[in-house]
Amino acid sequence: MIKMYYDDTCLICRTEAYHIKSDYIHIIPIKDGLSELQKHVIDELTAMTYLCILDDNNVMHTGIKAVRLLHKTADTKFNKLLLLPIIKPLSAIIYPLFAKYRYKIPKWLIIKLFGNVQDINECDNSICQLPPKERLNQHKKP
């Protein structure tokens, strides 16, 4: 079983976690898995920016490698797509940009792409539309 650590204040991340259900994936919000992530030298900002997956061999995968492992484990339709000769190198370029700027994607487009979205209360005060670094600062304010 792999462990997927996700940013539960991110609408896209939360929705992906909801849709990617599998008996082989343990889904953990970053705030609940921070000590495990830190054991693998993954800080909170990195974890909130890029997908992190811990595999069965206790190896941490981040970024597009984590995305590929997630879809392979869940056996989704994107699994084979992500491995196509043209898509694989392009996804390695596009994913970091997508991950960094995903908070700017409007909710209506997320609904078009994912269908049913998993809203969170924090979106009401627009904190979910802030970059990860700014969200961390918001959470740390007294």
Residue spans of the domains in the chain: they are 2-140
Residue 87 confidence (pLDDT) above 70:
yes
Long-range contact pairs involving 36-41 (C-beta distance under 8 Å, separation at least 24): 36/3, 36/5, 37/5
pLDDT tens per residue, range 21-48? 788 999 999 999 999 999 999 999 999 9
Weakest-pLDDT range from 68-72, 94-98, 122-126? 122-126
Rounded to 5 degrees, what angle do the CA atoms 71, 120, 18 make?
25
Q: Which residues contact 101 (CB under 8 A, 6 or more apart)?
A: none
pLDDT tens per residue, range 51-69? 999 999 999 999 999 999 9
Where do we find the tokens 């869940």?
Answer: 74
Nearest to 107, CA basis, from 126, 133, 80: 126
Q: How many CB atoms lie within 10 A of CB 19?
A: 14
Asked if residue 108 lies in contact with residue 2, where contact means CB atoms within 8 angstroms, the answer is no
How many C-alpha atoms does 93 have within 13 Å on its Cβ side? 5
